[in-house]
Chain A
Amino acid sequence: MGYLRFFWRQLTSMRTALFLLLLLAIAAVPGSLFPQRSSDPNGVSLYFTNNKDLAPVLDKLQLFDVYSSAWFSAIYLLLFISLIGCVIPRTAFHLKALRSKPPRTPARLDRLAAFSAFEIAPGQLDAASAPITATSTVEAARQNLRKSGYRVQLFENRGPDGPEFSVSAERGYLRETGNLIFHTALIGILLAVGIGGGFGYTGQKVLVVGQAFANVRISFDSFNPGRFFNDNQLQPYRLVVDDFTAKYEKENLNAFGQPIDYTLKVTTYEGSGGAKKQVLKVNSPLEIGGNQVYLLGNGYAPFVTVKDPTGKVVFSEKVPFLPQDANLTSLGIVKIADGLSSQVGMRALLYPTAVKDSAGASASNNPDLYNPELALVVYKGDLGIDKGVPTSSYSLNTDKMTEIAGPGIDAATIRLKPGETATIPGGLGSVTFENAAPKSDAKNLQLSVPRFVSLDVHRDPTQGWVLFFAILVLGGLLTSLFIPRRRVWVKVIEASDGRLRLEYAGLARGEDPGLDAAVADIAARHSQQLGLKLTS
């Protein structure tokens, strides 16, 4: 038991809190040095590929999940336990202090900071021509201090030099209140974040313009629920992507082709409310059904049609391509499992504004559609998707396939402009890069390739609470740092010959650079009120 108490006392000491705080700062560093699964999963897999021996060791040490690792959690949990162990007794103490009177005036004020004293000869009159007595002097001081926001208490006792009348005053209780609010609000943030993570979820969805999305679990491309999530928390709503426009800089040559605006127009259907047109931008998410829907990415989804040799359509889709660079050179995969005499896979690159570089290789020099070109490398064989093993729609496994059009073989890479068709070598059929522009505007290249958007859908039930506690943190910090807490005493000693000795002193409780000035000010105002004037 004694051992436990010792441990508890150590944990809640300021020294331990400081140590844990600095340890937390150091422990957070590795998370910025190594890619983290939470924020950069691709970086983690890349790290594993590049450092085959080191990566598993680092992974054992949880260096790719620093902020959910056992050791990081241990530090902040210990810190918060230490914090709670500090806040609770301090709150109890402060509540008592709030109800109690200022303490008894110390016997010797001259030992305190900001001490000053002077004497008044017997029989003086104050400004209102009333005689200055010990009690009237103390009463004036009491009123003064009360007016300045001090809590006051009068004391009277016999000192060595005669009767002593004093006022004990204290102010700045708000400093400790702010301090406790600050620390309690930090605990609040931690709890709110934890609960929010448990009950919330995030989901991602890629939508080509024209497609719709319903808020049910299976319609997400990926879905990350919290620990306590259940499907009933998904409120029913639906949204349709009407239009997406990306604007790129055209005038400023220093920034030519840099994106300057993304605007997504959607129609939403929620409950019985009917259709509602809404606009999303990068910095203005959509609020719907307790969710926030964010526009996080976009790209091109070329419209590709594949026909068999008889002209029967076996594939016709707008395929989202992943942007590879700032000029939106985009990589996409087309997989045709059925309908042709062999399974066919295509690895395709879209160049929105195709140019040849000096080596003769294709590249894009603008993210906008000025000269779109689709380059297809075609494989036939086994796509490896029949065994029911899930594969990514953004990658093509060519282990059991042979290249039938592309670099290094006789049949060259298939290159298509919007609206063009080419035959697939080997008599497999044909592939068309459809021009998606409406018939009436078929020459408008800007409309020839459809676009997709990638949406993040979030629900975080405690987000508002986190903000609330964050504001309390800031408010508590301001009051706890800038409101001075101080005690001030004014003592009047009545000597046997009628002289009055006035003493002033103050005591800082916490940082208080203004204490001396404050006590001097109290003394000056007090003497002014008594009709005494300072001359030098």
Chain B
Amino acid sequence: MTSDNLAFYSLVAIYSAMGVYLFAFIAFTLDLARRSAAAPAVAEAIPAARVGQLTSAGSVTTIERPLVAEVPPAGRASSRFERVAYALTALGWVLHAAGTVLRGVAAHRVPWANMFEFSLTASAIIVGVFVFVQVWQNLKWLGAYITGFALIVLGFGTVGFYVNVVPLPPALQSYWLVIHVFVASLGTAFFAIGAGLSLAQLVQVRREANRFSGLTFLDTVPNAEKLENLAYRVIVVGFVFWTFTLIAGAIWAEHAWGRYWGWDTKEVWTFIIWTIFAGYIHARATRGWRGSRSSWLAIVGFGAVMFNFTIVNLFFKGLHTYSGL
């Protein structure tokens, strides 16, 4: 099979993935609507004192409190929409990943050497993280945000950034392309999910303060504090990846351009993003900055990531001119 054929099949797989994501997005949205319609779940009372017994050599003693003093999650069965949406997302992701891999096979290299390929890979990682993160935490209510975001990225990628398979220019012929750009897209994925959680936190805080009573589906998602903690844990992982991206990029820049740091526009923005998220982490330890303020920082930080990927790539002059456009 020729390279052009493979690139064509890759595109077919991507378009199919977009179709499936569209249905997943609709189903996730319907699920949110259902969550709103359902009667608000009554928070289960904390189990009373005597929940268990300890036996020791026949005699019985009582526990005064449960060993784990955590409120069990509101017992809410997943709706049919949610299950369908999740299954569709997983299916779309398989197609998406296949399309991305095919693109790499067609090009005989990693599929993240220009903006089009980067949109494929980064969005595949975002959805992949979402699909697998459910093992750790049930974050399926974020599905509409994730599939919607992936659709927008893929839409821009295929329509706006598409380029044919071309060989790598000499400056990109380095194993650092594999490491630096891949870790950057990993970081982007975690920041994207962190921003989604922070956005939910902002809305949840306003709801909890009884500022408004709409969006009742938010009764079925974790409370603001839990959301903030989840966002923090996700963003911290993204921050580590971003730090690595910065260092790996500097090492590569030293090899290719003769200096490890030169305030190239892309370097500037990578630095700005790093600083914003460093601020985010410090905000968590600063009185008066927990909660909504740090959520805003997380959202601004992810906005800077998107700005760096789109506006800086397309309109700013610099050495990272690899959009292929």
Task: Tell me the A residues contacting B by CB distance below 8 Å.
Answer: 14-15, 17-18, 21-22, 24-25, 28-29, 31-32, 35-36, 38-40, 43, 66-67, 114-121, 124-125, 132, 193, 202, 249, 252, 254-255, 258-262, 281-285, 292, 294, 296, 456, 458, 460, 463, 466-467, 470-471, 473-474, 477-478, 481-482, 510-511, 513, 516-517, 520, 523-524, 527, 530-536
A67 close to B263 (CB less than 8 A): yes
B271 touches A116 (CB 8 A): no
B-chain residues with CB within 8 Å of residue A14 when the two chains form the complex = 282, 285-287
B240 and A296 contacting across the interface, CB-CB below 8 Å: no
Size category, B interface: 35 or more
16 contacting pairs across A/B (C-beta < 8 A): A15-B289, A22-B279, A28-B275, A32-B269, A66-B263, A116-B65, A121-B56, A124-B59, A282-B171, A458-B259, A467-B251, A473-B247, A474-B243, A474-B247, A481-B239, A534-B67
Among candidates A124, A478, A534, residue contacting B52 with C-beta atoms closer than 8 Å:
A534
Closest B residue to A292 by beta carbon equals: B258
- CB of B206 closer than 8 Å to a CB of A: no
In chain B, positions 32-84 with a C-beta closer than 8 Å to chain A are 51-57, 59-70
What's the count of A-B pairs with C-beta under 8 Å?
A: 203
In the A-B complex, the 7 residue pairs with the smallest Cβ-Cβ separation, listed nearest first, are A255-B166, A254-B164, A294-B258, A536-B52, A25-B275, A282-B170, A283-B174
Residues of A within 8 A of B281 (CB): 481
Q: Find A40's partner among B54, B67, B317 (CB 8 Å cutoff).
A: B317
The winner among A67, A282, A460, A530 for most chain B CB atoms within 10 A is A282
Q: How far is the CA of A281 from the CA of B169 in the complex (A)?
A: 12
With an 8 A cutoff between CB atoms, is B254 at the interface?
yes
Given contacts A22-B279, A40-B317, A260-B170, contact A121 B61 (CB under 8 A): yes
Chain A at the B interface: mostly helix, strand, loop or mixed?
mixed
Residues of B within 8 A of A470 (CB): 247, 250
Nearest-Cβ distance from residue A315 to partner chain B, whole angstroms: 33
Contacts of A259 in B (CB 8 A): 169-170
Least CB distance from B68 to A in Å reads 5
Asked whether, in the complex, the Cβ of A466 is within 8 Å of the Cβ of B260, the reply is: yes
**Do B170 and A261 have beta carbons less than 8 Å apart?**
yes
Q: Does B262 contact A (CB under 8 A)?
A: yes
In Å, the complex CA distance between A124 and B58 comes to 9
Of B61, B163, B243, the contact of A120 (CB 8 Å cutoff): B61
Q: A282-B256, A535-B52 are in contact. List 16 more A-B contacts (CB 8 A).
A: A17-B282, A25-B275, A28-B272, A31-B268, A36-B263, A39-B319, A40-B317, A43-B317, A117-B65, A125-B56, A283-B256, A456-B258, A470-B250, A481-B236, A481-B239, A516-B68
Asked whether, in the complex, the Cβ of A31 is within 8 Å of the Cβ of B256, the reply is: no
Complex CA gap A407/B134 in Å reads: 71
Q: Name the interface residues of B203-227: CB closer than 8 Å to any CB of A.
A: none
Given contacts A40-B317, A117-B64, A282-B173, contact A478 B240 (CB under 8 A): yes
Whether B275 and A22, one on each chain, are in contact in the complex, defined by CB atoms closer than 8 angstroms, is yes
Within 8 A of A (CB), among B121-180: 163-171, 173-174, 176
Q: Is B28 an interface residue, CB under 8 A from the partner?
A: no
**Could you tell me the distance in whole angstroms from the C-beta of A391 to the nearest C-beta in chain B?**
27
- Interface residues in B248-268 by Cβ distance below 8 A to A read 250-252, 254-265, 268
Taking a contact as CB atoms under 8 Å apart, the answer to whether A296 and B258 are in contact is yes
**B residues less than 8 Å from A117 (CB atoms):** 63-65
Which residues of A lie under 8 Å from residue B62 when comparing CB positions?
Answer: 118-119
For residue B309, CB closer than 8 A to chain A, the reply is: no
Contact of A18 among B57, B67, B169, B282 (CB under 8 A): B282
| Distance between A519 CB and nearest chain B CB, rounded to angstroms | 8
Chain A neighbourhood of B258, CB < 8 A:
202, 285, 292, 294, 296, 456, 458
Q: Mark B13-33, 1 if CB is under 8 A from A, else 0.
A: 000000000000000000000
Q: Given A32-B316, A262-B170, A513-B233 in contact, is the A520-B68 Cβ separation under 8 Å?
A: yes
Query: In chain B, residues 280-315, which have Cβ atoms closer than 8 Å to a Cβ of chain A?
Result: 281-289, 297, 312
Contact A520 B283 (CB under 8 A): no
Q: When chains A and B are docked, how far (Å) is the Cα of A325 from the Cα of B268? A: 27
The answer to whether A21 and B279 touch (CB under 8 A), given A282-B171, A463-B254, A536-B52, is yes
Asked if B282 and A516 sit within 8 Å, CB to CB, the answer is: no
Instruction: Name the residue on A nearest B293 (C-beta).
Output: A18
